[in-house]
């Protein structure tokens, strides 16, 4: 009987893509993949360290896995991903997180060591705990076809790691140095996805703008990927404002099947804070970029990431962030309270903005940004948009869900349409995150 593996994934899209690589490695080695944790022989959790609450969710989950292991000691539990890389053999230590009773892991595997998983799992069955957390300058899993199940939308990791060292961020420590996959191997993967009928591809990297395979930059890659199959919509994430080139913006503008959507994290509206964050650009540079993008790509949607309560942030700095939101009028934002992460530069600064002030500022940012997103969406009422259908709506089997060419979520009646179709929808109603409409 084949052993069954279950995986649970936390964190960013790169982790989602990595879990598909992990499942591919294990399936090739003869494991069966299951969505049912109750029947699993191996429980894996692919983890995130970006903020403390991301880690706490996983630690809580490990407590649940411990209960399962108490009932069935044969189960192998593996911790993968960024927490594995950051905390390493602490997971084996009885003192670690004793309050949550999480000393449950049999194997600890960092993001660059997934090829070792089959061997580590087999050893764990013979009672040997295992750890593999070396970061590699070359591993990019280029030869592994991720185990994709959705049939419509695919992730392709085009680069791994990050060299930016923003002072608040743990990613350069958990993912190591930047490394880009060769353009040709990415194109080959796109061709295969095209042949399998995929309709949407998202190119992934922590900072795709610094993609460089020694011959091509990210704009070259994007152009080549877009030209493989015009019926495939191409998205990418994440861009860093420091090195987003005009060439890249022109490429997005000129290729019809590249989504007119850019996620461009800014983090703060204050130059003083940006400097402390080691973001390496000013707010003036950011405004100029936004202007260039909007000039070259009319109707583009732009989203961002923001952090409230970075060390030393004053009320005045916070007001500058609110100002930025009013001026740029983003279509959406991921908004976070600052969370100190061990080993980062900012960790050496005192986390001096009191929790209640952080949360108050965060709520002000959220409230303002939601109002702006709502007003942006209101302008779409009465307009027609092209939508790629992704799935049934969560709320009703009579409704379907898709996304516009600007990556906005749209809900509309099913009316015999199929997942994977491109259709036109007339927008009748909106809120700050979703458009509602009728098909025409």
In whole angstroms, the minimum distance from the beta carbon of 171 to ligand SF4 comes to 4
Smallest distance, ligand SAM to C-beta of residue 308, A: 9
Question: Residues 22, 45, 77, 82: which binds ligand F3S (CB under 6 A)?
Answer: 82
Instruction: Output the smallest distance, CB 23 to ligand F3S, in A.
Output: 17
**Footprint on residues 175-204 left by ligand F3S (CB under 6 A):** 175
Q: Which does 339 bind (CB under 5 to 8 A by kind): ligand SF4, ligand F3S, ligand SAM, none?
A: ligand SAM
Q: Could you tell me the smallest distance in angstroms from the CB atom of residue 12 to ligand F3S?
A: 3
Among 5, 6, 7, 11, binds ligand F3S (CB under 6 A): 11
336 binds, among ligand F3S, ligand SAM, ligand SF4, none (CB under 5 to 8 A by kind): ligand SAM
The verdict on 388 binding ligand SF4 (CB under 6 A) reads no
Residue 376 makes contact with ligand SF4 by CB under 6 A: no
| Under rule CB under 6 A, residue 21 binds ligand F3S | no
Q: Which is nearer to ligand F3S, 305 or 351 (CB)?
A: 305
SS (H, E, C) the chain: CCCEEEEEECCCHHHHHHHHHHHHHHHHCCCEECCCHHHCCEEEEEECCCCHHHHHHHHHHHHHHHHHHHHCCCCEEEEEEHHHHHHHHHHHCCCCCHHHCCCCCCEEECCCCHHHHHHHHHHHHCCCCEEECCCCCCCCCCCCCCCCCCCCEEEEECEECCCCCCCCCCHHHHHCCCEECCHHHHHHHHHHHHHCCCCEEEEECCCHHHCECCCCEHHHHHHHHHHHCCCCEEEEECCCHHHCCHHHHHHHHHCCCECCEEECCCECCCHHHHHHCCCCCCHHHHHHHHHHHHHHCCCCEEEEEEEECCCCCCHHHHHHHHHHHHHHCCCEEEEEECCCCCCCHHHHCCCCCCHHHHHHHHHHHHHHHHHHHHHHHHCCCCCEEEEEEEEECCCCCCEEEEEECCCCEEEEECCCCCCCCEEEEEEEEECCCEEEEEEC
Q: Closest Cα to residue 161, out of 136, 131, 187, 189? A: 136
Count of residues making up the chain:
440
Q: Output the smallest distance, CB 304 to ligand SAM, in A.
A: 8
Chain residues that interact with ligand SAM, rule: CB under 6 A? 12, 50-51, 168-169, 171, 206-207, 238, 240, 265, 267, 305, 307, 336, 338-339, 341
Decide if residue 339 touches ligand SF4 (CB under 6 A).
Answer: no
Q: Does 14 bind ligand F3S (CB under 6 A)?
A: yes
The stretch among 151-159, 160-168, 327-335, 408-416 that binds ligand SF4 (CB under 6 A) is: 160-168
Q: Is residue 116 a contact residue for ligand SF4 (CB under 6 A)?
A: no
206 or 377: CB nearest ligand SAM:
206
Site for ligand SF4 (CB under 6 A): which residue of 81, 172, 269, 311? Answer: 172
Q: Which does 82 bind (CB under 5 to 8 A by kind): ligand SAM, ligand F3S, ligand SF4, none?
A: ligand F3S
Reduced to 3 states (helix: H, G, I; strand: E, B; else coil), residue 253 is: helix
Residue with tokens 């407590």: 63
Partner from ligand SF4, ligand SAM, ligand F3S, none contacting 172, C-beta within 5 to 8 A by type: ligand SF4
Binding to ligand F3S in span 26-65, by CB under 6 A: 48-50
Q: Which stretch binds ligand SF4 (CB under 6 A): 15-23, 126-134, 157-165, 208-216?
A: 157-165
Angle at CA 179, nearest 5°, toward 261 and 177?
A: 105
Out of 179, 199, 223, 240, which residue is the one contacting ligand SF4 (CB under 6 A)?
240
- Widest Cα–Cα separation across the chain: 64
Binding site partner of 307, from ligand SAM, ligand SF4, ligand F3S, none, Cβ cut-off 5-8 A by kind? ligand SAM
Helices (H), 277-388: 283-296, 315-328, 355-378
Closest approach of Cβ 267 to ligand F3S, in Å? Answer: 14
Contact residues toward ligand SF4 (CB under 6 A) are: 162, 164-166, 169, 171-172, 206-207, 240
């Amino acid at each position: 009987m084949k052993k069954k593996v279950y995986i649970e994934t936390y964190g960013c899209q790169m982790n989602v893509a990595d879990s598909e690589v992990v499942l591919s490695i294990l399936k090739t080695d003869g494991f069966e993949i299951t969505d049912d944790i109750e029947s699993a022989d191996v429980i894996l959790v692919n983890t995130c360290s970006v903020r403390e609450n991301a880690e706490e969710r996983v630690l809580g989950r490990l407590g649940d896995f411990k209960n399962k292991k108490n009932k069935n000691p044969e189960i192998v539990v593996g911790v993968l991903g960024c927490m594995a890389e950051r905390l390493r053999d602490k997971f084996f230590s009885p003192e670690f997180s004793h309050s949550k009773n999480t000393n449950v892991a049999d194997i600890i595997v960092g993001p660059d060591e997934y090829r070792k998983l089959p061997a580590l799992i087999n050893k764990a069955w013979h009672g040997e705990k295992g750890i593999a957390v070396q970061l590699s300058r070359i591993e990019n899993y280029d030869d592994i076809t991720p185990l994709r199940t959705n049939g419509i939308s695919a992730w392709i990791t085009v680069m791994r790691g990050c060299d930016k060292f923003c002072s608040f961020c743990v990613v350069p420590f958990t993912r190591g140095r930047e490394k880009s996959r060769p353009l040709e191997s990415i194109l080959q993967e796109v061709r295969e996805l095209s042949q399998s009928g995929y309709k949407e591809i998202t190119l992934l990297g922590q900072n795709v703008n610094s993609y460089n395979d020694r011959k091509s930059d990210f704009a070259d890659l994007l152009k080549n990927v877009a030209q493989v199959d015009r019926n495939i919509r191409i998205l990418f994430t994440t861009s860093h404002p420091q090195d987003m080139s005009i060439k890249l913006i022109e490429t997005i503008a000129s290729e019809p099947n590249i989504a007119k959507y850019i996620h461009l994290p800014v983090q703060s509206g204050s130059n003083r804070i940006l400097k402390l964050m080691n973001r390496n650009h000013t707010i003036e540079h950011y405004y100029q970029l936004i202007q260039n993008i909007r000039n070259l790509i009319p109707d583009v949607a732009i989203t961002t990431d923001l952090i409230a309560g970075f060390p030393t942030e004053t009320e005045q700095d916070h007001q500058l962030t609110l100002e930025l939101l009013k001026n740029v009028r983003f279509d959406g934002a991921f908004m976070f309270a600052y969370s100190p992460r061990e080993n980062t530069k900012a960790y050496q600064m005192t986390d001096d903005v009191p929790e209640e002030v952080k949360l108050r500022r965060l709520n002000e940012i959220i409230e303002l940004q939601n109002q702006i997103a709502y007003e942006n969406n209101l302008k779409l009422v009465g307009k027609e948009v092209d939508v790629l259908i992704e799935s049934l709506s969560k709320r009703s089997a009579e409704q379907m869900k898709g996304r516009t060419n600007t990556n906005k979520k749209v809900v509309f009646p099913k009316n015999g349409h199929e997942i994977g179709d491109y259709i036109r929808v007339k927008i009748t109603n909106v809120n700050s995150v979703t458009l509602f409409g009728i098909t025409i």
